A and B are shown apart, each in its own frame.
Chain A
Amino acid sequence: MPALAHVLPLTRVAHSDEELVARVLRGDTVAFRDLYGRHGRYVAGVIYRVMGDDAELEDIVQDTFVRAAERLHTLRTPAQVRPWLVTIAVRLTQSRLARRRRRSFIRHQLTGAVATVSDPRDRAPADELYSALDQVPDKLRVPWILHRIEGQRLEEVAQACGVSLATVKRRIADAQVRLDRRLGGTP
């Protein structure tokens, strides 16, 4: 019998998220790797945008998928596995941000490790934005980033943050006003 892990990448067919979830729940590690391969990069992107730096990115992605593996049986709609993963990632990221704030550590971090962009000439605006975001409470910062930077729909943001659509709108609005004031925009 050929090595399954070796052969599958060559003959892999596109499984739906529902199929992958069902297989993972039956203990299929190959399916778990596929699930991770399909969504890991996206989840990493969300975390990176929300955190604003790279420092704990791998740790949070790891925690997200470990927790997902352990709670996958609670997922009610397997087709919605990506937003579910994002919800986990956002909550873990929020915890990290809160911990950072408690330690008064984020300011030091951001001075040397704001979101990295390819061209240093482009870095200043991102630095400035994340410095301003540093002054915005996490509960406002996270939905604003998910919506305005990550481009998620308001409904997706609400789900990721675990609050109502109205609350998300209000929080994004509050964050926007605060950022406009700090960055010189029109409130």
Chain B
Amino acid sequence: MEAARRAAQAPVPWDDLRQRRVLDRVQASVAARAEVRRRRRLGSVLAGVSAAAAAVLLSIAWPSDPVEEPIAVASSAAPDAVSVVPLPSIPYATWPQLRLPDDSVAELRFDARVDVDVQRDDLVRLLQHRGEVRYEVAPDRSRSFVVDAAGVEVRVVGTVFTVTLDESLDGRPQRVEIAVERGLVEVDSGARVAELGPGDHLSVDVNEHVAARALADDEPERPSRAARPSVSTSGSTGPSVDALLSKADAARASGDLPAAAAALSELVRRYSSDPRAYSAYFQLGKVERARGRHAAAAAAFDKCWKRAPQGPLAEDASAEAAVSWKAAGRADRARAAAEAYLARHRAGTHQDRMRALLAELP
């Protein structure tokens, strides 16, 4: 493994020629995209005014348009100098806009996608499927304005805010971020409700909130909600690893630690050879500690690091094992674990903690 890792660290095939070539492509691409936006913006202006008025406006506005303002570079630059293209000043981009009948505007950034789910006098409901969208909601207390991003609801009266829906690698919703510029919004993740004001920012892990809702909430699912991660099963022999992990996560989120411990214990028992059992031992250790079952916690932490002594969790797990053995009143095991940690992780982050623990042992 180490040989392979070193081999993979071979020099990157990136020379000055490639560096220069890509820079040229970047600048050309930025300029082309800016031009497209400029034309789109110009087109909308022309569509809104008469030809004569547009001509007058253009003659005035064109020279002072900051997007068109090139950097001061003399035309006598050497022929081989990197070509200079104008970079627009902020706000850089002009994004497609979805304008609603109530004068609210959704600005769709990058690959955002939004559908109008409900459009009534008393309710506007949008489904944001992906990407980043900036909403400027026209104030109107007689109607509710709701954005649903992967099941996370943002409810507003009149405000400006941005919702970003991050996807996982397989395209499933992963995280919803809400940033408020003006006004107030209420964010309902299913398990919790939060009110955000100007400058506030909230990030919601979709999987966590879905899992929490699944067990903690009897509320029936609304059909309009975005697809939720399904719990896969592995045949008729019992719950799968994914299902057990989801169950444990949901139980932890709702404070049901015995249920979380049961799910994790079942996982490591039924799927001991699965790679995820390694981290499940660590989770089990934390849950058992939270339950006050320190010996069980220590045993789980021990199994975690012994399973992969060079693994990323090994250092943390061996230190936590020592702490839990001490809390369980097993001074002998705690001493052995702490000394083993100090020997194995000479530059470890828990060195001081382990020394202090040893000093406190009888």
| Chain A 128-167 interface mask (CB, 8 Å, partner B; 1/0) | 1110000001110000010111000010000000100000
Q: Which A residues are in CB contact (< 8 Å) with B169?
A: 94, 97-98, 137-139
A177 to B308, CA, bound (A): 8
A-B contact count (CB 8 A): 203
A124 to B10, CA, bound (A): 12
Let me know if B308 and A70 touch, CB within 8 A.
Answer: no
Task: Report whether over half of chain B's contact residues are helix, strand or loop; otherwise say mixed.
Answer: loop
What is the total number of residues of chain A having a CB less than 8 Å from a CB of chain B?
75
Interface positions, chain A 51-88, Cβ under 8 Å from B, are: 52, 54, 57-58, 61-62, 65-66, 69-73
Let me know if A176 and B30 touch, CB within 8 A.
Answer: no
Q: Which A residues are in CB contact (< 8 Å) with B308?
A: 173, 176-177, 180, 186-187
Q: Which of A61, A118, A128 contacts B22 (CB 8 A)?
A: A61
Question: A11-19, A42-50, A104-112: which lies at the B interface?
Answer: A42-50
Let me know if A98 and B175 touch, CB within 8 A.
Answer: no
Question: B39-47, B75-83, B141-149, B259-267: which lies at the A interface?
Answer: B75-83
Q: Which of B7, B29, B175, B279 contacts A125 (CB 8 A)?
A: B7
Q: Which B residues are in CB contact (< 8 Å) with A154?
A: 312
Let me know if B14 and A62 touch, CB within 8 A.
Answer: no
A54 to B1, CA, bound (A): 22
Let me know if A69 and B92 touch, CB within 8 A.
Answer: yes
Q: Which B residues are in CB contact (< 8 Å) with A176?
A: 308, 310-312
Q: Which B residues are in CB contact (< 8 Å) with A27?
A: 66, 69, 71, 86-89
What is the total number of residues of chain B having a CB less than 8 Å from a CB of chain A?
67
Let me know if A129 and B8 touch, CB within 8 A.
Answer: yes
Q: Which B residues are in CB contact (< 8 Å) with A32?
A: 27, 87
Let me know if B278 and A123 touch, CB within 8 A.
Answer: no
| Interface residue? B13 (CB, 8 A) | yes
Q: Which A residues are in CB contact (< 8 Å) with B87?
A: 24, 27-29, 32, 69
Let me know if A5 and B312 touch, CB within 8 A.
Answer: no
Q: Which of B10, B276, B307, B312 contacts A115 (CB 8 A)?
A: B10
Let me know if A126 and B29 touch, CB within 8 A.
Answer: no
Task: Report whether over half of chain A's contact residues are helix, strand or loop; otherwise say mixed.
Answer: helix
Q: A3-B74, A98-B170, A137-B169 are in contact. Are A41 and B10 (CB under 8 A)?
A: no
Let me know if B275 and A174 touch, CB within 8 A.
Answer: yes
| Interface residue? B60 (CB, 8 A) | no
Q: Which residues of A contact B (CB under 8 A)?
A: 1-6, 24-30, 32-33, 36-37, 40-41, 44-45, 48-49, 52, 54, 57-58, 61-62, 65-66, 69-73, 94, 97-98, 115-118, 122-126, 128-130, 137-139, 145, 147-149, 154, 162, 169-170, 172-174, 176-181, 183, 185-187
Provide 12 A-B residue pairs closer than 8 Å at the C-beta atoms, listed in order of the A residue. Answer: A4-B77, A48-B13, A58-B25, A62-B29, A65-B23, A66-B29, A69-B92, A98-B170, A129-B4, A139-B169, A176-B312, A181-B275
Q: Which 8 A-B pairs have the closest CB atoms?
A: A129-B4, A117-B10, A126-B7, A125-B4, A73-B90, A177-B275, A3-B77, A125-B7
- Other A-B pairs beyond A25-B89, A45-B12, 12, CB < 8 Å: A5-B73, A6-B74, A6-B78, A25-B90, A29-B86, A29-B87, A37-B23, A44-B14, A48-B13, A49-B9, A176-B312, A187-B278
